[in-house]
Amino acid sequence: MEIFEYVKSVCSAAADSKSAMAGASAKTKNTVLARIAELLRGECDRITEANAIDLKNAEDNGIAPAMLDRLRLDSGRIDGIADSLSELIMLNDPIGSGTRTTRPNGLVIEHIRVPLGVVAIIYESRPNVTVDAAALCIKTGNACVLRGGKEAIETNRVLAQIMRRALADCGLPSDAVGLIDNTSREGSAALMKMRGLVDLLVPRGGAGLIRSVVDNATVPVIETGAGNCHIYIDESADIELGIKVALNAKMSRPSVCNAVETMLVHENIAADFLPRFTAALDGKALEIRGCERTRAIIGCAAAAEYDWATEYDDYILAVKVVSGTDEAIAHINRYNTGHSEAIITRDMANAEHFKREVDAAAVYVNASTRFTDGGEFGFGAELGISTQKLHARGPMGLDALTTGKYLITGDGQVR
């Protein structure tokens, strides 16, 4: 109960800052972002010292090297975060934009974009998310409550202090950036129940975190980042192009949500395509788990039901030979998480069919799923990739952090 009250106090303080944040001009909000960038660069040593403690603790706890790398902040990465703030400053502020209509009875109806209010984010070990997520909230006039992973708590404390100071330096309430300085499960469970205080909760992390939030949250949630993505190599595919795109979709960065986990191959080209695909790996380590027909062509481990349903986030690829586009679509719609799906084909009818029938945020023809990203789509900034259909689907830019409000002005109209 003590933890619950603590989390509530952080959320209440953030909620009390809503009005000041919503009323801040685009210029003021951009000044805060510039001030954060300046402080990040100026306090680089303090940040890396705190980060060194986190890294030491993580190493003592025997954390994997890939995880350690995600946790690390050096002066180059801090510069990178500061640079991305400068890019965010350049983007248009959506707040206050809208439409205006006059009804036949003389009522003037404006529909304008306004902040959501308090946005909470639960995330894992990457400390750059602390600044990225808070900066998107500041840009859109929202208050935010951050609950990062325990591995990064020392770093996050310093980063939150810097952002709170920047807000105060620019005349805005420092409580508009709140950090839950308690990394227990009870802390994140409490945050999920802050109905009336938290207007949106965005979980950024693995399937376990997302599932826990969906099951337990009473606050509005946008699910992000679950990516069991597929690439389907159609009978008519340009094989060289297919190999290039499939290799990129799987191998360029397997730990991210837009990487491919299962490759489906048309039965009429499988005997040609699959050996050329494995040869193109050129010695790079990739574990392939295939269906029986795949195994008859290339020797590999056997795929089980588990494999079709799993987001490996690793150098593992499930492979299935299918009878055609319809079976590929059926497989994808059964197992996918609504993220990104690709077809490699020269048959435009199959491409159209695939685009129409596959149920996902992003459907690709002859391109890598790795492009599902706010930056690659030209949004300039991204809070995450929504895999749900309500409010935001796909990369979430600034608009996803706003809602609408109708303002109606009359001179005594009654109904």
**Using CB under 8 A as the criterion, which residues of the chain lie in contact with a second copy when the complex forms?**
19, 22-23, 101, 103, 107, 109, 116-117, 199-200, 214-215, 218, 220, 222, 238, 241, 244-245, 247-249, 252, 351, 355-357, 359-368, 370-372, 376-378, 388-391, 393-394, 403-415
- Of the candidates 280, 205, 221, the residue with the CA atom closest to the CA atom of residue 250: 280
| Long-range contact set of residues 69-72: C-beta below 8 Å, sequence gap at least 24 | 70/125, 70/126, 71/125, 71/126, 71/127, 71/151, 71/152, 71/155
Q: What DSSP designation does 400 have?
A: G
CB-wise, 46 or 211, nearer to a second copy?
Answer: 211
Residue type (1 letter), 42: G
Altogether, the residues listed in the chain come to a count of 415
CB-wise, 62 or 101, nearer to a second copy?
Answer: 101
Q: How far is the CB of 392 from a second copy (least distance, A)?
A: 8
- Of the candidates 78, 91, 70, the residue with the CA atom closest to the CA atom of residue 36: 78
CB-wise, 53 or 214, nearer to a second copy?
Answer: 214
Q: How far is Cα 356 from Cα 326, in angstroms, rounded to an integer?
A: 12
- Give 260-289 as a DSSP string: EEEEEEETTTHHHHHHHHHHHTTT---EEE
Residue appearing with tokens 């350690």: 68
What does DSSP say about strands 229-233 and 177-179: parallel, antiparallel, or unpaired? Answer: unpaired
Q: How far is Cα 340 from Cα 132, in angstroms, rounded to an integer?
A: 23
CB-wise, 37 or 398, nearer to a second copy?
Answer: 398
CB-wise, 65 or 412, nearer to a second copy?
Answer: 412
Q: How far is the CB of 366 from a second copy (least distance, A)?
A: 5
What does DSSP say about strands 287-290 and 316-322: parallel, antiparallel, or unpaired? Answer: parallel
Q: How far is the CB of 364 from a second copy (least distance, A)?
A: 5
CB-wise, 231 or 291, nearer to a second copy?
Answer: 231
CB-wise, 78 or 143, nearer to a second copy?
Answer: 143
Q: How far is the CB of 311 from a second copy (least distance, A)?
A: 17
SS (H, E, C) 128-196: HHHHHHHHHHHHCCCEEEEECCHHHHHHHHHHHHHHHHHHHHCCCCHHHEEECCCCCHHHHHHHCCCCC
The Cα-based distances of 326 to 270, 345, 353 in angstroms read 16, 14, 9
Q: How far is the CB of 410 from a second copy (least distance, A)?
A: 3
The first and second tokens of residue 160, run together, are 């939150």
- Of the candidates 223, 27, 11, the residue with the CA atom closest to the CA atom of residue 139: 27
What does DSSP say about strands 260-266 and 385-386: parallel, antiparallel, or unpaired? Answer: unpaired
CB-wise, 35 or 250, nearer to a second copy?
Answer: 250
CB-wise, 6 or 377, nearer to a second copy?
Answer: 377
Q: How far is the CB of 255 from a second copy (least distance, A)?
A: 14
Q: How far is the CB of 15 from a second copy (least distance, A)?
A: 10
Q: How far is the CB of 268 from a second copy (least distance, A)?
A: 21
The first and second tokens of residue 223, run together, are 């699910």
CB-wise, 141 or 148, nearer to a second copy?
Answer: 141
Q: How far is the CB of 396 from a second copy (least distance, A)?
A: 11
Task: Confirm if 285 and 339 have CB atoms less than 8 A apart.
Answer: no
The first and second tokens of residue 281, run together, are 């790996």
Give the Cβ contact number of residue 34 at 10 Å.
17
Q: How far is the CB of 156 from a second copy (least distance, A)?
A: 27
